Amino acid sequence: MPDITLILEVLLIIVKVMVVTMILFGLPLPLTWMERKIAGHIQVRLGPWRVGPHGLLQPFADMIKLLFKEDIIPYKADKFLFTIAPLLAMVPAFAVFVAVPFGDKVMIPFINKEVTLYISDMNVGILYVLAVSGLSIYGVILGGWASNSKYSLLGGLRSAAQMISYEVAISFAVIGVVMLSNSLSLVEIVKSQGNSIFTWNIFYLPVGLVWFVIFLIGSLAEVNRIPFDLNEDEGTLACGFHTEYSGMRFSFFALAEYVAMVTVAILAVILFFGGWNAPFDIPLPIPPIFWLLGKVIIFIYFFMWLRFTLPRYRYDQLMTIGWKVLIPLSLVNLLVTGFMRIG
């Protein structure tokens, strides 16, 4: 007969999983609004304006529109693969958040119980994150293959090749951080970055900065964002692997892309910018989660800012950067990091 504390623990984990999943399902709504508003203002126009005040209800309108669209499965497409491809893209993006910590411990006032702000503190946390996020490549490949369309197939293959190449670069950056923080656990990595802005991993000069740049470029390519989004390019490839998807299935792909972007932003903050640590010792009682969210929002703004500034790389330039620039740079940086950590 399992005792009451075990049942409560399991219940707590289930509640946390549900909270995280609900938040992640709802996140693309403000994110699409933010993206379109930032797009508008960078292009000196207004973005969504009339649907609700300042266009705030625009994501809801988009959601309703996507729900009402006809669900088309192309002729002679592989029905089973076509159906599960969006799910295979979406579920790993959510599953990554099991290991991502949003804070340390929080005391809930009414029950007087301490609750940790992560679902699980694995001591191989970052390894789990890398492994599970690699699964989303299946969704891309299957989506491209199962659509029975030449544009989708090409887009899917190119996308998969791009994602695999830049996974290597991201893994190197993660190895660099692990060397700097001496642990694979994400909570330990944040804790080892101390309390002041100068002990954050990015300021461990010169290697921290280089690892951060490698991680940033690799993760931009991993989530298929400009300047690496040739495979979703609406102009030449007619949207790549999600050309033939419409309605809710397309919204699953879009959701997967936004959640992946959030994942990458949170990872960058945790690995390089001190996670939920405040930059200076400020006497105000600001809960650490606000620092984390503030930094993540700055990163998301930075990704969107990049999107509306840069043109996209050609496919061969993309693969050149992935293999011929990032990997040798990572190896050299690994050597330098090793030397710097001898002491």
Partner 1 sequence: MSDKNSGFNLIELIKRVVFADFVKGLSITLGYNLSRAISVKYPDQEKWVPYRRWRGLHTLNRDANGRELCVACELCAKACPTGCITVIPMEDDSGRGIADRVAETWRIDLVRCLYCGYCEDACPTRALRLGREYELACTDIRCTIRNREELLVPQPIPEAIEGGFIVRAKFERTSAGIKVVADLRDSKKRLI
Residue 310 Cβ vs partner 1, minimum distance, rounded to whole Å:
7
| Interacting residues with partner 1 between 281 and 340 (CB under 8 A) | 305-306, 308-310
CB of 43 to partner 1, least distance (A): 7
The token duo for 152 is 């989708």
Of 16 and 37, the one with the shorter C-beta distance to partner 1 is 37
Q: Which is nearer to partner 1, 138 or 301 (CB)?
A: 301
User: Is the CB of 277 or the CB of 337 nearer to partner 1?
Assistant: 337
Closer residue to partner 1 (CB): 133 or 337: 337
Closest separation in Å from C-beta 59 to partner 1: 20
Site for partner 1 in 10-69 (CB under 8 A): 38, 40-46, 49-50
How far apart are CB 305 and partner 1 at their closest, in Å? Answer: 7
Binding characters for partner 1, 136-175, by CB under 8 A (x = yes): ----------------------------------------
Nearer to partner 1, 72 or 310 (CB): 310
Residue 8 CB, nearest approach to partner 1 (Å): 48
Contact residues: partner 1, CB under 8 A:
38, 40-46, 49-50, 305-306, 308-310
